[in-house]
């Protein structure tokens, strides 16, 4: 198993454990045991660190960046420089035409009178000045509204920032769990019989666990640690199981009570749990300090398969132990 696959599997196991703990927290509210709250915080920190570590490998998941310019359509209806030139040309023609008309009205009688005779008193140009002034004022004001579309065109690119938030949603590059149940159940089971316990879970994991071989019940005790869980099974052979938050499990025949190691001085560790903790440094380094004393898990079910075990230990979770030393909780 390569390191990337191992990290992905650890994230999946942490996430499953975190979901179970948060359901317990939602049900119990303010009565949630402090060890559950602490374990939620630890697992969330673990998941964050593992996802950061996963992104360091080639091919790791990365957010997809979207360029804001890629979604900005080019406006084909925006006025170009030629349209503005035509507007100013129209203004100039209008003004010149108005001036010519004013000159003809104002000075025409005197100009033509010098050739054909004295001006007649019946021509009064004062009344004709009013419409000339109105035409000039209206024409000079008309170019101002032509700038309105350009302001609207400049403001429209601000809408193109909306799609840039979509890739951040895809950052849920949650690693595909190796042991996740298939969304399509196997239509024809290959085993001659079904297990006595945990049939629903087994149906989704039949290809990995194989056929059931035996089943039993046993009393359990368990103890919570910063980085995992120890469980003691009484029947048929006293056995200690270690469930590490990195997704791995191991089992040990109950070694019984031994003298405490220096590291266990002052800690709430007793009997076989203390012996396993002291004599296995790799497990001790992973689970770290105990967060509770030994707790009574009462009687629980155990179902053995060709390639693993499904059982409960009293915590409220169902533990699936695969033959490759990986585990997950349901």
pLDDT, mean of residues 196-215: 96
In a domain, 87, yes or no: yes
In a domain, 92, yes or no: yes
In a domain, 72, yes or no: no
What number of H helices and E strands is found in the chain? 9, 8
In a domain, 28, yes or no: no
- Distance, CA of 87 to CA of 302 (rounded, Å): 89
Domain co-membership, 328 together with 193? yes
Instruction: Report how far apart, in Å, the C-alpha atoms of 151 and of each of 26, 81, 98, 148, 162 are.
Output: 53, 15, 31, 6, 21
Domain co-membership, 193 together with 157? no
Q: Per the structure block, which two tokens stand in for 26?
A: 């939602």
In a domain, 270, yes or no: yes
Domain co-membership, 154 together with 196? no
In a domain, 269, yes or no: yes
Model confidence band, residue 58 (pLDDT cutoffs 50, 70, 90): confident
pLDDT at 56: 87
pTM over 0.75: no
Domain co-membership, 156 together with 189? no
Contact 45, 16 (CB under 8 A): no
pLDDT over threshold 90, residue 106: no
Domain co-membership, 142 together with 109? yes
> Which one of 115, 131, 163 terminates a domain?
163
Nearest in space to 318 (alpha carbons), one of 195, 235, 227:
195
In a domain, 9, yes or no: no
pLDDT over threshold 90, residue 240: yes
> Which one of 113, 134, 163 terminates a domain?
163
pLDDT (tens digit, 9 = 90+) per residue, 121-163? 454 544 444 444 444 444 445 444 444 444 444 444 444 444 4
Three-class DSSP category at 132: helix
pLDDT over threshold 60, residue 63: no
Provide the CB-side half-sphere exposure for 56 (13 A, CA): 7
Residues of the domain holding 239: 179-330
Share of the chain above pLDDT 70, in %: 61
In a domain, 206, yes or no: yes
Domain co-membership, 186 together with 98? no
Least confident of 88-92, 168-172, 225-229: 168-172
- Burial bucket for residue 216 (CB in 10 Å: 0-12, 13-18, 19+): middle
């Amino acid at each position: 198993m390569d390191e990337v696959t191992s990290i992905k599997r650890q994230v999946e196991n942490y996430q499953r454990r975190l979901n179970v703990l948060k359901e317990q927290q939602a049900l119990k509210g303010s009565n949630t045991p402090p060890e559950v709250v602490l374990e939620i915080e630890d697992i969330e920190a673990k998941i964050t660190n593992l996802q950061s570590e996963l992104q360091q490998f080639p091919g790791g998941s990365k957010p997809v960046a979207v360029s804001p310019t890629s979604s900005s359509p080019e406006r084909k209806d925006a006025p170009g420089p030629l349209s503005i030139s035509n507007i100013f040309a129209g203004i100039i023609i209008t003004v010149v035409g108005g001036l010519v008309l004013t000159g003809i009205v104002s000075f025409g009688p005197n100009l033509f009178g010098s050739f054909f005779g004295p001006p007649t008193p019946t021509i009064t140009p004062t009344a004709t000045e009013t419409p000339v002034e109105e035409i000039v004022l209206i024409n000079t004001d008309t170019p101002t509204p032509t700038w309105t579309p350009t302001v609207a065109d400049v403001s429209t690119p601000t809408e193109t920032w909306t799609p840039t938030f979509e890739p951040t949603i895809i950052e849920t590059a949650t690693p595909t769990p190796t042991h996740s149940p298939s969304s399509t159940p196997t239509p024809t089971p290959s085993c001659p019989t079904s297990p006595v316990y945990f049939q629903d879970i087994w149906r989704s994991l039949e290809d990995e666990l194989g056929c059931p071989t035996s089943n039993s019940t046993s009393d359990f005790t368990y103890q919570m640690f910063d980085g995992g869980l120890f469980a003691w099974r009484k029947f048929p052979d006293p056995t200690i199981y270690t469930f590490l938050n990195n997704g791995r499990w191991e089992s040990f025949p109950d070694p019984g009570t031994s003298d405490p190691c220096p590291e266990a001085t002052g800690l709430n560790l007793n009997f076989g749990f203390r012996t396993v903790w002291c004599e296995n440094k790799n497990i001790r380094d992973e689970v770290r300090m105990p967060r509770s004393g030994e707790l009574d898990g009462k009687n629980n079910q155990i179902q053995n398969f060709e390639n693993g075990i499904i059982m409960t230990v009293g915590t409220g979770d169902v533990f699936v132990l695969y033959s490759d030393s990986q585990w997950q909780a349901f």
